[in-house]
Homo-oligomer: A and B are copies of this chain.
Amino acid sequence: MPGISRRGKKMPTSPIRRLVPFAEEATKKGVHVYYLNIGQPDIKTPEVALEAIHNYNQTIVEYSHSAGNESYRRKLAASYRKHGIDVDYTDLMITTGGSEAIMFAFFSCLSNGEEIIIPEPFYANYYGFAVSAGVKVKAITSSIKDDFSLPSIAEFEQLITPKTKGILICNPNNPTGYLYSAEEMEQLRQLVKKHDLYLFSDEVYREFCYDGEKHISAMHLQDINQNVVMVDSVSKRYSECGVRIGSLVTKNKAVIETAMKFAQARLSPPGFGQIAGEASLDTPQSYFDHVYNEYIARRNFLVEGLNKIPGVYSPMPKGAFYTMAKLPVDDTDKFCQWILSEFDYEGQTVMMAPGSGFYKTPGLGKNQVRIAYVLKIEDLTKALVVLEKALEAYPGRIL
């Protein structure tokens, strides 16, 4: 029997996946599980998107252009321009989710064995994509004490080697909800320019910025437009995660042309997803207002509720719909399993994502969990009660 590949062995299984059987077991026992572990919102997909699907009127579902339908690319570019991102439709390509955009960016920009720096905690799948592409990830730790703000530039400088080719940020951040400030973005700009690095910027949560804070895109930064590769997705913006549509955006023509070769090899992005994505660009502002109000209410409720539980601390995130909270426990991998498999409060329990899965540095995140506020306040209310009761009962509690 031929063996599997080195990269296959190296590829991580996410600690969330490890918990899935325990959640399934709890459900089988009749325990209701509140899923706070995932970024699957309960917000409805815009009507315009669903209507476009219902009204699909072609008789042959043909390949699209490898960069995506031109009508979609043109409208998407126009929508970016409204956000001060100066691109035309030739500066972007439609991808199969933001995931594929990251893969194409890595494939196009990074050779096997080269390095990127990512502030941790980070979206766990970045590491999987890096393993797929043979790219080495160097993590630079952001601290919950500083509410996960950007680590100092001096720390970045220490990690830069001749093999360092880029920096990857997620802004607003998954898993922390942190929104980078104008000052932090300027620091990154100078760093990237000084060392001529790529700045890969995952901006799929762009619409989710709170408290009047303004989102600063990497594409807004002056004088580094050949360095910036933006990754985007319709998944969260329109609550249509399942359509698998994203985009790769850059003013760097060599990168776009190279990414196109990878795009052509896989022929085209999903056809129906493109139809939903294009139609979603006509989503009325009232939809976003509703979603915004919903999330800000949820965030305020959740974070205030968390901070009222003895021993728990959550920063007040300015973006996305996650928070990384500190729990008074020995090990959140154990606690998140225990709460599913050995605990319930009035027939209810909670699934959360253990913090360790978002750190590359071994041992970090052991007292943190990522909580996604993708459920309505009624459910969050119950989930918070479960969490408080569980922390009281958990044998591994640390005071």
Contact = CB atoms under 8 A, between A and B. Distances in A.
Given A50-B56, A63-B242, A242-B61, A112 B109 contact: no
Given A45-B61, A242-B63, A242-B64, A272 B53 contact: yes
Interface string A262-278: 10111111111100100
A97 B4 contact: no
Q: Which of A132, A252, A254 has most chain B Cβ within 10 Å?
A: A132
A59 B47 CA distance: 8
A252 B54 CA distance: 39
A266 B99 contact: yes
B270 A112 contact: no
A262 B50 CA distance: 29
Given A6-B112, A61-B276, A242-B62, A258 B11 contact: yes
Contacts of A100: 266
Contact of A266 (B5, B97, B261, B264): B97
A196 interface: yes
Interface stretch (A36-44, A70-78, A334-342): A36-44
Contacts of A252: 1
A241 interface: yes
A165 B5 CA distance: 10
Interface stretch (A12-20, A80-88, A383-391): A12-20
A2 interface: yes
Given A11-B261, A132-B265, A265-B99, A196 B2 contact: yes
Contacts of A8: 107-109, 258, 261-262
A197 to B, nearest CB: 6
A140 B9 CA distance: 30
B226 A242 contact: no
Nearest to A113: B112
Given A11-B261, A264-B14, A265-B125, A132 B107 contact: yes
B267 A270 contact: no
A262 B99 CA distance: 11
A5 B61 contact: no
A196 B273 CA distance: 41
Contacts of A110: 5
A305 interface: no
A240 B128 CA distance: 30
A244 B269 contact: yes
Interface of A: 1-9, 11-14, 17, 38, 40-45, 49-50, 53-56, 59-64, 96-97, 99-100, 103, 107-112, 114, 125, 128-129, 132, 134, 165-166, 196-198, 226-227, 239-244, 252, 254-255, 258, 261-262, 264-273, 276
13 contacts: A1-B226, A1-B252, A4-B108, A4-B109, A44-B60, A45-B59, A61-B239, A63-B242, A96-B266, A128-B262, A128-B265, A272-B273, A272-B276
The 6 closest A-B pairs by CB, nearest first: A242-B271, A272-B272, A128-B265, A270-B270, A8-B258, A99-B266
